[in-house]
Amino acid sequence: MSITQIIVQYWPRLLEGLALTVEITIISLFIAGILGLVFGLLSVSKSKIPRAIALVYVDIVRGTPLLVQAFFIYFGVPTVLGIQSDSFISGIITLSLNAGGYLAEIFRGGIESISKGQMEAARSLGLPYGMAMRSVILPQAVRTMTPALINQCIITLKDTSLLSVIGVAELTQTGRLIIANNYESFKVWAIVAVMYFVIIMILSKISKRIERKMSYGKSEN
């Protein structure tokens, strides 16, 4: 069976796998963005307890492999709670928690890159800490963080392939199932690799375009 025949025969299934990959990525990044912002703010808090909570979360995420996290959430947690595990939900939870830990560090770095004088000036004008952070610090920090945020989006998209080990029918798992039917592993994996490459290259181009716009904005200032 030629590559063209494989594409024609299995294209709908491959598109379904790709669509699920993108869906999982978007949902996970949305949740991870909230987690990253919350724990990023906790990590720059003046209180030791919030900083300690953020540090523990980030260290656990960064100190354990994503594959182990997926197994823990899909197999371990349901066993303890006595519930039936769902691969789709478990996959989203895994990616959200994992990406959230890295986004927390990105937010922390972005916030700390802004001069402390900015916060002091905002507070001297009578702005509460929360409003000063929201209106003054974060808008400036986001410009600094944008390349890293987009890079994390790309990493999370690629990490969805690891969810195939818990049965999520994303693109990689779809490729495995197709190979089980036709045994054309080289050709199928080549097609899957090209599909990943195309979508990741699109995100990379978007990232570079945004970076150029950001740099133009800085030079104008």
What is the rounded CA–CA span in Å between residue 91 and residue 70? Answer: 7
Domain boundaries, given as residue ranges, for the chain? 3-220
Q: Report the alpha-carbon distance of residue 46 to residue 20 in Å, rounded.
A: 41
Class of domain 3-220: mainly alpha
Place of tokens 């939900």: 89
User: Tell me, what's the pLDDT at 7?
Assistant: 85
pLDDT at 216: 60
| Low-confidence spans in the chain with pLDDT less than 70 | 214-221
* Spatial CA neighbour of 100 closest among 57, 157, 65, 159: 57
pLDDT in the model for residue 55: 93
* pLDDT of amino acid 215: 64
pLDDT at 78: 92
pTM above 0.85, yes or no: yes
> Residue written as tokens 């209180």?
47
Which residues neighbour 60 within 8 Å (Cβ) at sequence distance 6 or greater?
A: 101
Tokens, residue 14: 């491959």
- pLDDT number for residue 47: 87
